[in-house]
Structure 1
Amino acid sequence: MRRILLASLLAVMLVFWGCEKPGEEEKEVPTDGTSWEIIHTNESVLPTLYAGYISSDGQRIFLFGDKGFFAVSTDGGLTWTPDTVADMADSGYSIRCVDFADENTGVIGGDMTIYRTTDGGETWTLAASQADFGEARVRKVKYVGNGKFYAIAGANFLRSTDYGATWEVVHIDYLDSTSYGLMSFDFVDEDNGYMISSGPVNFITTDGGLTWIPERTEMGFHGYDVDAADDGTYFVCGDTTKIAYRTVSVSDTDTTVSWTTVPISPTLTHPEAYLLERIKIEGSLGIAVGNDGLVVISTDGGETWQRTDAPGTYADFSYVALAGDYALAVGVDNIRAEGFATLGTSNFSVWKGVSYGTRMELDDVVFVDEQTGFFVGKELSLFKTYDGGLTLYQRPLVAEHNVSVSGIDFGDDLHGVAVGSDGAIFTTSDGGETWTTVPEENIPYDTDIDHINKVRFVDPTTVYAVGTDIDGNGIFLRSSDAGENWEVIQTGYNVELLNLDFLSPTVGWIVGEMGTVLKTTDGGDTWERLPTGTNAGLNAVDFVDENHGWACGSFAILKTTDGGQNWQIAQIEDNLFALFHDIVFVDRNTGWIVGDFGYILHTVDGGETWYRQAAGMTESDLYALYALDATHIWACGELRTILKLVP
């Protein structure tokens, strides 16, 4: 109630701000007819994902997850069409596994149900349910050829010989006297398969799953998934960071089954905290995925396994699909509480996120054209949009800590820089598809950097940034090679510096706490502190030429017409909450400010008067603005809110 009351009082005050004092004639506030629309909300966020499928050319991708959700992409994950299997959504059942016989015929398994499609996923028909195999979760489904789909659920092996239309249940009687259930299976061909349970007994079949022979296992851990190599070797992963494989040697007098356990390298610092959920082997390539972003790969047919940080995520993976040169890993990002999917290529050394949407707050935004833009935020969040902000696709960042990314900018359509906490700097040279962490030796400085807040390109290769070191000194950073190497300069002021604006490589301004405005005319070699007449923290600054500029922050909006030597302050009453986060002008007259409670203020007379736009559209705090031109402007903030100007 207090938040609503304060917001209402602020709204009333802002409407009349710019009016004359009592007793004087009221000044009319000019407007221009522009408005805003919300283009991204929580409805655009992926739910928890449990399964996925990818075609051998990497173009056709399915994602499956919570409450019957699925999404289809036909362009390698650039765009998606979300949908649900209606009956599963109504029942709250999730989709746990999938496989396709061809581009049209596929089967999904989930909570107590199996569904089938014959039109490439356009429609799904119930093929089997708990009436057939009991109240059990379908953990895996696989197409083995000649119209045969196999699956497991509880203590049952399920067979279909008509492309999933009807199913036969083969109950594993051995499990009736135990508390174990079936975890996974795989087949070398239609007849020969291997099945693992949650206990110390696995099973072998040589007749397509009609009968199963128990086999005591000596893996040394609980298995979660099994996959067969072409030569009949079965690889198993589970509640450990090791991978085991089963081989059979046959002599004239005996058949010997042996298990070999392979550790991953390099060794994890706390291996007991990790596990591997899923494993896939095709030819010489192998991949296994697990919790906390753990991905291990093999390029020698499973003889050795190496951990890779290439996916750049801390998501818990629950599924991996392998097709040709592509790997699709899906799961959930527990920090963001949203589904996560990433696509690997080039022997899984290159990965790109194909997830869309986010629940994280968005702290900065930049666009390189009307459709292509980027948003950043906490917990290593960096998203790219290809449709003007309607959908967001995560792009992986790799750092030693969960960096909060607070600033981003591009010098051209290929080269960009993102900055954040712990002095982290990331660069891209391929239009933001992949990002590289700038090593510390490329940012030489006498002490540690606490935070880099914002970054700005002033030409395609010259880029500047501002922040604070751990001693509280305001610092200015500059690069002449699009962010690959940096020089760090102390400004001489012990204050947190929050934002910057430059008109050229030599002339620019910085704003920060305690009403700080600094100006340079020599590219940042020296800085002059300009008097502002306020102690308010200033969060943003924007100049349209060397004379006309504006700044905003806590309880204040400032304007200058002489390059910052003198500032006119439009003060907000101290007893009202008015925290403004960003400001942008497209010419001397037309500008916008965003702030807490979803406030968007607009002026068409150079800041002499302001009026509120989009009142009531959102109560989310808005943190950033970006103007590509006078008609293409975006705002973003907490709770994944993105708004776009309607000219």
Structure 2
Amino acid sequence: MKILHFLLFLSVAGFPQTAWEVINPLPQEKTINAVQIIKDSLVYAAGENGAFLHSNDYGITWQRKPQGVEKTFLSIYFADEMTGWLGAGGGEMYRTTDGGYNFNVVQTFPGRDIIKIKLNGNSGYACSREGELYRTNDGFSTYTVRVITNTEVISDILIRENGKGVAAGEDGGIYTTANEGETWVKSAYTAQGPLYGVTKIDNNRTAVYGFNGYLAVSSDEGVNWIAQNVGNSNLSSVEVTAGGEIVAANVTGEIYISRDAGITWEVSLSGDDVSYRGMAVSGNFIFAAGEYGVMSASTNNGTDWSYRSTGSRVRLNRIRFIDPDYGFIIGDKGLLLVTSDGGNTWEKKNTGTTKELFDFHLFKNGQGAFGIWLVGANGTHLQSSDTGKTFKNGAMAAVVGQNLRTVFMGDNLSRIAGDAGTSYESLGRWGSAGWRKAGNYGSNINFYDFWPTTPSIGFLVGSQGTIIRYFYYFRAVAQENISWEVPYELRSVFFIDQKFGWIVGE
């Protein structure tokens, strides 16, 4: 029986204690779920893992607030610059009276996700995804509970000053109230997909929105609805500017705007395949934020936009440094970043593909530059001989249609492997000889990483606990299956010498 030992060594005395610094993206990397503009230039934002920050200059610069809470915030409401509430997943509601430097739990709703908070003075309401409405007259020191529904997840709620309101459900249900949420009635109209939000268009019209660009408007307090589509991606936020423009953000990085009360729509911002989660407007200022800390803003009602966050906005899949200064990062959408100053600045290279890149290998080509081999989704295999200035298709690009997830180039043996049992090898230096299929593995096995312990021995790891050890002697390759009996997904392998190594996975 083969046994793998998963080892973790920690030595406080043996290593200097250093801090980690986020350098991409800036100002921070956590997903933002909710934003609020207190006045034209002051913006508060809250999100995952305790993310809470504010800006005093339209989102150009940001300060993180040291509130010390690691919960995921789903909702935000500030009455003024100093006093505000945050609703969290799990049911905690936090309150600050010093602008967010300190938060205290003001109320707990066990097992609930607080998706909306709205107050006028100390009177107002909050709502949970689980369909409960909480009403208060003392800033949530105390509250009463009313049930919107117990058969559907509620995504958003709006109660107007006249006590009439609408709640939207993730099964397409629409619920209305005429008495400040005391009682609720399900509308006869049901959307044909999930709804993610409710917004006030004007004094007479209310909109619900959600799946595949769906947006429906009612002018009779939720009795009848007229539906349309704004793009074809799920809408995550809809707001109305002071000039009456309707702005809609979606989960694929597009922001639409209508300047004729919703009759026609135009794309106001596009280009990022990231999900906007929250949006706020004040005067002519529009601010949107979301996944991976992305932030965008317009100061002229959506005519022009600028990013308020910097850095790559796609998933980064692999990083390697060849010395303290020179490093490479690859990621989704064909991303390749190169640094020559220890990671302080990064230059984006054009790989010529928009496919996900999963792994790369670097080698000195003897011409004062580095050779780079990239592998990725759907058989992507790219080669560069000039440190990433230009790329061409590699040998596997025309052979394999599966995702290629690991590549290694050696003096004697090179290897590329990936999904559905894909494994190829070349016995030439840096893959210069012909490539051949290496082993017969089932289509249910995905390979994720390869590491050589010596020029003649290497390990390939993958799904279902798969571990293959390769031996190379006298231009012949042998292999040994030493798979672990526990079928974990093994994602990465690393050895520090011929005997001592790690394998990590799910």
- TM normalised by structure 1 equals 0.46
List alignment gaps of at least 5 residues for structure 1. Answer: 1-36, 250-255, 269-273, 333-338, 365-374, 381-401, 410-415, 425-448, 456-464, 473-512, 515-534, 538-572, 578-619, 621-647
1:467 aligned partner, one-letter code: T
1:304 aligned partner, one-letter code: T
Indicate whether 1:350 and 2:305 are aligned. yes
Aligned match of 2:335: 404
Aligned match of 1:305: 265
Q: Secondary structure at the match of 1:189?
A: coil
Q: How big is the shift at 1:307?
A: 4.2
1:203 aligned partner, one-letter code: Y
Q: How far apart in 1 are the matches of 2:339 and 2:246?
A: 36
- Mapping 1:362-401, distance limit 5 Å: 377-379=329-331
Aligned pair in 2 of structure 1 residues 43, 240: CA closer, same or farther (>3 Å)? closer
Choose from 115, 120, 128 the match for 1:139: 115
Aligned pair in 2 of structure 1 residues 418, 408: CA closer, same or farther (>3 Å)? farther
Q: How far apart in 1 are the matches of 2:38 and 2:384?
A: 41
Q: Secondary structure at the match of 1:175?
A: coil
- Cα deviation digits, residues 382-425 of structure 1 (max 9, x gap): xxxxxxxxxxxxxxxxxxxx12134589xxxxxx984321079x
Aligned pair in 2 of structure 1 residues 65, 451: CA closer, same or farther (>3 Å)? same
Aligned match of 1:169: 144
1:205 aligned partner, one-letter code: T
- Mapping 1:30-69, distance limit 5 Å: 40=21, 46-66=29-49, 68-69=50-51
- Mapping 1:8-27, distance limit 5 Å: none
Choose from 238, 260, 272 the match for 2:226: 260
Q: How far apart in 2 are the matches of 1:405 and 1:299?
A: 39
- Mapping 1:131-530, distance limit 5 Å: 135-143=111-119, 145-153=120-128, 154-162=130-138, 164-172=139-147, 175-176=149-150, 179-189=151-161, 191-199=163-171, 201-248=173-220, 257-265=223-231, 268=232, 274-282=233-241, 283-307=243-267, 310=270, 312-332=271-291, 339-345=292-298, 346=300, 347=302, 349-354=304-309, 360=316, 361=318, 377-379=329-331, 402-407=333-338, 418-422=348-352, 466-470=389-393
Choose from 46, 70, 82 the match for 2:52: 70
Q: How far apart in 1 are the matches of 2:65 and 2:386?
A: 35
Q: How far apart in 2 are the matches of 1:58 and 1:228?
A: 23
Choose from 76, 81, 94 the match for 2:72: 94
Q: Secondary structure at the match of 1:50?
A: strand
Q: How far apart in 2 are the matches of 1:223 and 1:453?
A: 50
> Is the contact made by 1:320 and 1:328 (CA closer than 8 Å) also made in structure 2?
yes
1:329 aligned partner, one-letter code: A
Q: How far apart in 1 are the matches of 2:62 and 2:305?
A: 20
Q: How far apart in 1 are the matches of 2:277 and 2:64?
A: 22
Aligned match of 1:487: none
Aligned match of 1:367: none
> Is the contact made by 2:123 and 2:136 (CA closer than 8 Å) also made in structure 1?
yes
Aligned pair in 2 of structure 1 residues 197, 575: CA closer, same or farther (>3 Å)? closer
Q: How far apart in 1 are the matches of 2:43 and 2:137?
A: 26
2:244 aligned partner, one-letter code: S
Larger Rg: 1
2:108 aligned partner, one-letter code: S
Q: Secondary structure at the match of 2:181?
A: coil
Q: How big is the shift at 1:243?
A: 1.2
Aligned pair in 2 of structure 1 residues 171, 60: CA closer, same or farther (>3 Å)? closer
Aligned pair in 2 of structure 1 residues 357, 38: CA closer, same or farther (>3 Å)? farther
Q: How far apart in 1 are the matches of 2:47 and 2:256?
A: 23
1:419 aligned partner, one-letter code: K
Q: How far apart in 1 are the matches of 2:268 and 2:328?
A: 24
Q: Secondary structure at the match of 1:216?
A: coil
Q: How far apart in 1 are the matches of 2:204 and 2:103?
A: 33
- Mapping 1:550-569, distance limit 5 Å: none
Identity of aligned residues (%): 18
> Is the contact made by 2:383 and 2:394 (CA closer than 8 Å) also made in structure 1?
no
> Is the contact made by 2:146 and 2:182 (CA closer than 8 Å) also made in structure 1?
no
Q: Secondary structure at the match of 1:166?
A: coil
Q: How far apart in 2 are the matches of 1:216 and 1:39?
A: 54
Q: Secondary structure at the match of 2:290?
A: strand
> Is the contact made by 1:46 and 1:357 (CA closer than 8 Å) also made in structure 2?
no
Aligned pair in 2 of structure 1 residues 165, 363: CA closer, same or farther (>3 Å)? same
Q: How far apart in 1 are the matches of 2:79 and 2:284?
A: 19
Aligned match of 1:392: none
Q: How far apart in 2 are the matches of 1:287 and 1:452?
A: 44
2:149 aligned partner, one-letter code: L
Aligned match of 2:96: 117
Aligned pair in 2 of structure 1 residues 84, 146: CA closer, same or farther (>3 Å)? closer
Q: How big is the shift at 1:97?
A: 0.6
List alignment gaps of at least 5 residues for structure 2. Answer: 1-17, 322-326, 341-345, 355-380, 396-409, 412-428, 432-453, 459-493, 495-506
Aligned match of 1:372: none
Aligned pair in 2 of structure 1 residues 182, 466: CA closer, same or farther (>3 Å)? closer
Q: How far apart in 2 are the matches of 1:185 and 1:342?
A: 24
Q: How big is the shift at 1:344?
A: 2.2
Q: Secondary structure at the match of 2:149?
A: helix
Q: How far apart in 2 are the matches of 1:350 and 1:451?
A: 36
Q: How big is the shift at 1:246?
A: 1.1
Q: How far apart in 2 are the matches of 1:574 and 1:302?
A: 66
Aligned match of 2:420: none
Q: Secondary structure at the match of 1:240?
A: helix
Q: How far apart in 1 are the matches of 2:66 and 2:199?
A: 30
> Is the contact made by 1:322 and 1:328 (CA closer than 8 Å) also made in structure 2?
yes
Aligned pair in 2 of structure 1 residues 575, 418: CA closer, same or farther (>3 Å)? same
Aligned pair in 2 of structure 1 residues 71, 168: CA closer, same or farther (>3 Å)? same
- Cα deviation digits, residues 30-82 of structure 1 (max 9, x gap): xxxxxxx886369996334332334443453323223x342334452534325
1:118 aligned partner, one-letter code: T
What RMSD over aligned residues (CA atoms) do the two structures have, in Å? 5.1
Higher relative contact order (CA 8 A, sep 6+): 1
Q: Secondary structure at the match of 1:301?
A: coil
> Is the contact made by 1:292 and 1:314 (CA closer than 8 Å) also made in structure 2?
yes
1:194 aligned partner, one-letter code: V
- Cα deviation digits, residues 542-570 of structure 1 (max 9, x gap): xxxxxxxxxxxxxxxxxxxxxxxxxxxxx
Q: Secondary structure at the match of 2:187?
A: strand
- Give the count of matched residue pairs: 365
Q: How big is the shift at 1:225?
A: 0.7
1:148 aligned partner, one-letter code: S
> Is the contact made by 1:408 and 1:419 (CA closer than 8 Å) also made in structure 2?
no
